């Protein structure tokens, strides 16, 4: 194996092999990407056979569909007829085992290895699956394989789909093939866009984080399509841009850039551009166009890659739409500033938003995403009933998160995700998922690059270990407004948010409006505002309209439960200065005593 311009994961295989620590390797992660080498972009099997295993005298390629294929046999190498004549996978594996024992300098590549050695209870696997698992397990322990300078490379995108007998074998070395980092993306972009300036390369490399090389190439240099497809997109784009003749060249350019996109995707891209689609050609920077398209295609690609398991958050509101909560907003903006400035040691690993429902936790999290400029995603339900699928889904999500960097992960209803570390009905999948999430959340390499926001109104239902320092370092409490002065900024913010014209003024209208809204949740204040707007119709909302809306509205009230959730937020808070005055002097003893009383009432 040569060490000429090898990527890091390939160097890891080489050094481990030369030290004699392993001769069977499982490559996982970004295994279906193109690998840059000497100015070319090679597929994984091409790279392994032509570069990493270049000095092997026999190289065989195996997968479940094409059986065994001999990619190279040097002159003088032993000829094993059974290799090419194997009619089924079991006989092919037997032939390969004989080859590994009698020949010297053999490289064996098995891709889609999970199809031959799938995860699952052995009693439920076929005889062929069990024999394949045993055969590969024996190879890893066979000293003759090491002494004969032979190596076996297994390829599987998700290791959790592989048999645990293979994964747990200490003689099988797991090697992750990561998504390309910024330096690798920069080199690829320079190769694809030789006319781009250093600043343009840096921008494109930054915004392509999380994409594979093959996807970056597809966006920057889309393949040629038929004349009919090009003409159809060209006419569609001209229609959207308008009739001016100066738009002709730009429409032609956009038609080439959007090669391979459907009509719906082209329209989405043009609509996302908004007013930018009407710019004059001479004012258009080509790389602004490319960057805009790259950002949009990146979201589409990553959501598709993660099977809809994550949702990119693009909130329309920032902190200007959030009424009150000044201390919490200052805390969050300081965190965002430290992330942008690279002061990672000042950034918490994660945040816990806790408090009763309707206090604005999700709204504030989305405003933080907008105001901070961080890429924000929400985790959707990634659990599956199929063995190994839940863990594979989570691995896929976390690999994308690591590659994107500077990302905010919002987990709503965290008590459902992390509520229990053990269940009997899912074969232990829940406990493995929670353990994997805990491991990722406490990885200090992610500090300042990946920030978790976990939200819940019942922090007592959270796994206690998830709340410890090093995972959720800061816990921010949310409460209902307890005095008119706290209600008023919330009410005014709701009026602004929904663009409701009004004649309400504080403190003049305090007694008639904000005093009556004390104890209402933010969601209930919003409902009153919308009802007042409906009553006013096209007129400005007056104090009378607000009073009529308040007279008609019946808020839901579960006094003991609401108080219990508020006191849980007090108990979790990491700072007294974030608490309302009514709770700042509350002793720990009194707090715990009242929580016990309320817990009995709501049990």
Burial 385-397 (b: 16+ CB within 10 A, else e): eebbbbbbbbbbb
Q: Is the pLDDT of residue 330 over 60?
A: yes
CA distances from 456 to 261, 410, 435, 459 (A): 40, 11, 19, 6
Q: What percent of the chain has pLDDT over 70?
A: 84
Mean pLDDT, to the nearest integer, of 176-194?
90
Mean pLDDT, to the nearest integer, of 360-383?
81
Looking at residue 108, its pLDDT comes to 92
Q: Is the pLDDT of residue 275 over 80?
A: no
Q: Is the pLDDT of residue 429 over 60?
A: yes
Both tokens of residue 456?
């819940």
CA distances from 353 to 20, 342, 360, 553 (A): 50, 24, 10, 28
Query: pLDDT band for position 549 (50/70/90)?
Result: very high
d(Cα 504, Cα 502) in Å, to the nearest integer? Answer: 6
Q: Is the pLDDT of residue 1 over 60?
A: no
Mean pLDDT, to the nearest integer, of 215-230?
70
34-81: per-residue pLDDT in tens?
Answer: 999 888 899 999 999 999 999 999 998 988 776 788 888 888 777 655
553-562: per-residue pLDDT in tens?
Answer: 988 777 788 8
Looking at residue 353, its pLDDT comes to 95
150-163: per-residue pLDDT in tens?
Answer: 999 999 988 888 89
Q: Read off the pTM.
A: 0.68
Q: Is the pLDDT of residue 535 over 90?
A: yes
Mean pLDDT for the chain overall: 82
Mean pLDDT, to the nearest integer, of 166-195?
89
Q: Which residue has the higher pLDDT, 209 or 224?
A: 209
Looking at residue 3, its pLDDT comes to 45
Residues 440, 449 contacting (CB under 8 angstroms): no
Looking at residue 318, its pLDDT comes to 84
CA-based torsion, 427, 429, 431, 435: positive or negative: positive
- Please state whether beta strands 67-73 and 58-63 pair in parallel, antiparallel, or not at all (unpaired): antiparallel
Q: Which residue has the tokens 């902190």?
A: 319
138-148: per-residue pLDDT in tens?
Answer: 888 887 777 78
Mean pLDDT, to the nearest integer, of 14-35?
92
Q: Is the pLDDT of residue 169 over 90?
A: no
Long-range residue pairs from 367-370, CB within 8 A, at least 24 positions apart, any chain? 367/315, 367/317, 367/318, 367/319, 367/321, 367/322, 368/319, 368/332, 368/336, 368/408, 368/453, 369/313, 369/315, 369/408, 369/410, 370/315, 370/316, 370/317, 370/318, 370/319
Looking at residue 225, its pLDDT comes to 53
Count other Cβ atoms within 10 Å, centred on residue 17.
19
Looking at residue 32, its pLDDT comes to 92
Which residues on adjacent β-strands are paired with residue 453?
Answer: 351, 410
Residues 53, 151 contacting (CB under 8 angstroms): yes
Domains in the chain with CATH codes: 8-177 (3.40.50.300), 182-303 (no CATH), 310-477 (3.40.50.300), 484-552 (1.10.8.60), 559-602 (no CATH)
Among candidates 127, 170, 153, which has minimal Cα distance to 51? 153
Q: Is the pLDDT of residue 285 over 60?
A: no
Looking at residue 350, its pLDDT comes to 92
Looking at residue 227, its pLDDT comes to 55
Looking at residue 310, its pLDDT comes to 77
74-92: per-residue pLDDT in tens?
Answer: 887 776 555 555 567 777 7
The alpha-helical segments, DSSP class H, found in 373-428 are 389-404, 414-417
Looking at residue 235, its pLDDT comes to 74
Kindly report the CA angle at 314 between 501 and 247, in degrees rounded to 5? Answer: 90
Looking at residue 176, its pLDDT comes to 92
Q: Is the pLDDT of residue 297 over 50?
A: yes
Looking at residue 230, its pLDDT comes to 66
């Amino acid at each position: 194996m040569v060490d000429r311009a090898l990527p890091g994961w390939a160097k890891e295989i080489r050094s481990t092999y030369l030290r004699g620590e392993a001769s069977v390797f499982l490559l996982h992660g970004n295994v279906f990407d193109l690998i840059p080498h000497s100015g070319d972009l090679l597929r994984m099997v091409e790279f392994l056979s032509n570069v990493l295993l270049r000095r092997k005298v026999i190289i065989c390629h195996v997968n479940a569909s094409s059986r065994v294929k001999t990619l190279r046999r040097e002159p003088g190498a032993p000829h094993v007829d059974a290799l090419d004549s194997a009619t089924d996978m079991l006989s092919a594996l037997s032939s390969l085992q004989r080859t590994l024992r009698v020949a010297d300098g053999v490289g064996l590549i098995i891709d889609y290895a999970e199809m031959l050695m799938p995860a699952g209870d052995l009693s439920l696997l076929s005889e062929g699956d069990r024999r394949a698992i045993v055969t590969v397990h024996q190879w890893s322990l066979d000293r003759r394989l090491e002494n004969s300078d032979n190596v076996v490379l297994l390829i599987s995108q998700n290791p959790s789909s592989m048999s645990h007998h293979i994964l747990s074998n200490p003689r099988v070395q797991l090697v992750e093939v990561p998504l390309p980092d910024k330096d690798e993306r920069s080199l690829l972009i320079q190769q694809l866009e030789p006319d781009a300036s250093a600043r343009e390369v840096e921008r494109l490399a930054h915004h392509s984080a999380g994409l594979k090389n093959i996807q970056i190439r597809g966006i920057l240099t889309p393949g040629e399509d038929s004349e009919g497809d090009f003409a159809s997109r060209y006419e569609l784009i001209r229609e959207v841009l308008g009739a001016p003749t100066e738009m002709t060249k730009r429409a032609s350019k956009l038609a080439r850039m959007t090669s391979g996109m459907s009509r719906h995707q082209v329209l989405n891209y043009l609509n996302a551009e908004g007013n930018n689609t009407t710019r004059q050609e001479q004012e258009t920077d080509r790389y602004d166009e490319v960057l805009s398209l790259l950002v949009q295609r990146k979201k589409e690609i990553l959501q598709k890659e993660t099977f809809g398991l994550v949702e990119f958050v693009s909130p329309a509101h920032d902190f200007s739409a959030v009424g009150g909560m000044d201390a919490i907003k200052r805390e969050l903006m300081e965190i965002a500033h430290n992330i942008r400035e690279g002061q990672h040691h000042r950034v918490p690993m994660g945040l816990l938003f806790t408090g009763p429902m309707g206090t604005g936790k999700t709204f504030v999290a989305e405003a933080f995403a907008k105001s901070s400029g961080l890429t924000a995603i929400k985790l959707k339900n990634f659990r599956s009933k199929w063995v190994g699928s839940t863990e594979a889904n989570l691995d896929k999500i976390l690999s994308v998160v690591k590659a994107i960097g500077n990302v905010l992960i919002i987990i709503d209803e965290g008590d459902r995700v992390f509520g229990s570390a053990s269940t009997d009905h899912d074969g232990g999948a829940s406990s493995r998922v929670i353990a994997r999430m805990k491991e990722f959340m406490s990885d200090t390499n992610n500090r300042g690059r990946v920030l978790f926001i976990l939200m819940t109104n019942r922090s007592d239902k959270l796994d206690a270990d998830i709340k410890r320092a090093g995972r959720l370092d800061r816990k921010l409490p949310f409460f209902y407004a307890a005095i008119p002065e706290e209600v008023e900024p919330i009410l005014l913010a709701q009026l602004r948010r929904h663009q409701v014209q009004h004649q309400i003024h504080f403190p003049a209208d305090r007694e008639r409006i904000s005093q009556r809204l004390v104890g209402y949740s933010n969601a209930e204040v919003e409902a009153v505002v919308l009802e007042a707007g409906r009553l006013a119709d096209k007129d400005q909302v007056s104090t009378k309209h607000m009073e009529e809306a308040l007279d008609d509205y019946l808020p839901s009230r579960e006094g003991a439960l609401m108080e219990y959730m508020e006191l849980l937020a007090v108990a979790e808070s990491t700072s007294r200065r974030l608490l309302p005055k009514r709770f700042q002097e509350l002793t720990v003893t009194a707090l715990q005593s009242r929580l016990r009383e309320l817990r009995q009432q709501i049990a």
